[in-house]
Amino acid sequence: MREHIENAEMLPLNHKKTGVYKGTNRKYLGFRFEKKGSKIIAKREKKAYKTVYRDWYTTGIQRIDSSYHLVNEGILTRRDFNILFENDEGKKYIPVETTDSIYVYSNVILSGNFFEFINNHRG
């Protein structure tokens, strides 16, 4: 079978994953096949949930107490009397009066007026 697929059909095979395996109790195309007596039953496999922090992916920012954590790339700038974090996913305003600290975990551009604004509002 391998020779036919590789030579006649000219399709490459991953030899680490290729083999003849028992078809029951294996996940295949979203189904699991189980043997019950003399019958084979196909059951739809439940999807595994991923550990995703959905709030972080909307704007790349999360607030914990009075600190903000920036995990996605973006731009920090001054907007009126607030700090604006802006990236491809959207805009998020950070209130200066109630913010103790901002933690940056990725590439963030800090504008010149951001530094002036922060310098004037130090506690």
* Cα dihedral sign, 8-10-15-20: negative
Domain boundaries, the chain: 2-44, 54-120
DSSP count for the chain of H helices, then E strands:
3, 10
| d(C-alpha 75, C-alpha 85), whole Å | 6
Q: What is the pLDDT of residues 26-47, one digit of tens each?
A: 777 788 888 888 888 888 877 7
**What token pair was written down for 118?**
């922060």
Q: What's the pLDDT band for 56 if we cut at 50, 70, 90?
A: very low
Position 106 pLDDT exceeds 70: yes
pTM: 0.46
The gap between the terminal CA atoms of the chain, to the nearest Å, is: 74
| d(C-alpha 34, C-alpha 104), whole Å | 49
| d(C-alpha 87, C-alpha 71), whole Å | 11
Position 80 pLDDT exceeds 70: yes
CATH topology (fold) of 54-120:
Ribosomal Protein L15; Chain: K; domain 2 (3.100.10)
Give the pLDDT confidence score for residue 57 in this predicted structure: 46
Residue 29, phi then psi, degrees to nearest 5: 50, 40
Give the pLDDT confidence score for residue 59 in this predicted structure: 56
Give the pLDDT confidence score for residue 48 in this predicted structure: 63
Give the pLDDT confidence score for residue 119 in this predicted structure: 78
